[in-house]
Structure 1
Amino acid sequence: MNDLTRTTITSIEAAEWCGKKHNDLLKDIRRYVGQLAEGKISHGDFFKETTYQDVNNQTRPCFLVTKKGCEFIAHKMTGQKGTEFTARYINRFHEMESGKLPCPLNPQIASSVAELGRVTERIMRKQGSPAYKIAEAFKLECEQFGIQLPADFVKVPDYEQLSLTELLR
């Protein structure tokens, strides 16, 4: 499984890229797995069922999606969303293959990072920190564990992006 997690994304991330609810993508993937089984084609090259811990520490289902799995999903999509999904998965897998993107963490470490993020959020909210500052702190915490979040993870409000020269005009 270690090799598999180094060459996969989660169905959670794939659902976000597809613009779908995670549960809807899970249904789609389960349908694909069933159809592959009917054709006597192994689904292991595409999808591997696993679980994750949600914010309430409950175990939830998800899939690890390989590059082939992403191609499979992309071939089922059309239009703008299909184009965007394809571009995102191609970029992500090229980053993983070139070593520019750290490999996903094992579930225990990922759970610890998530808990650290929850604690940080709770403390910062009590101190009145805005959402984008909490996101910046979480991004820094992730980077300390070798987790690279997307460049647009932190969305600074427009009013915070004004420069001093713009204010003096």
Structure 2
Amino acid sequence: MKEVMRDTSKLTPIEIALGVDENGMTTAGKLYEFLELNPAHYARWFKKNIMENSFAEKSMDYFPFTTNGECGGQASQDAKLTAGFAKKLSMMQKNQKGESARNYFIGVENGAKKMIGNQTRQIPLTEHPGEVANLIKVVTNRMDKQGSASYESMDVSRMICEQYGIQLPDNVVKVPAFKQMNFDDYMKSSGEDET
């Protein structure tokens, strides 16, 4: 029988190692195997860490079931575990696998902090709104010197603000119903500039 390959691209390495299924679940048996614990102590570990765990809730974090013993063997207890609960149990384990799990999650947290720190450095002007205002002043002054209409300058100002996460009200830019003339053109058209 050909085994179907499952897409694991959205799983973390620890979820893959725990055999987390498409429903976000693994089993106590898989977790115990992952933790490389003595098979002879499984029943005691199961009772203490799952059934008597005061921080876990039945039918929320774990779903117990019994497995039939193969070849006439004794039935044993198992449980479906949510991935989150399995991760907590792996971090509680006092052996090398538990230490690896703790280091993994500390590394993930440090990576997230670093990523957040990098994002704030990518747009330094948002930390200093005065610098955004200075940028807008430089751009609008240049546009005014080139003869741009005031509504065009305000539209560019709004676009600059949006790039830095600053929202201006929509009514900041009021486009006139007719094309505005600049002062020189007005003067020429009214005949007052004739000398």
Tell me which interval the TM-score lies in, with the shorter structure as reference length: 0.3 to 0.5
Larger radius of gyration: 2
Larger RCO (CA under 8 A, 6+ residues apart): 1
The TM-score, its normalising length taken from structure 2, stands at: 0.33
TM-score (norm 1): 0.37
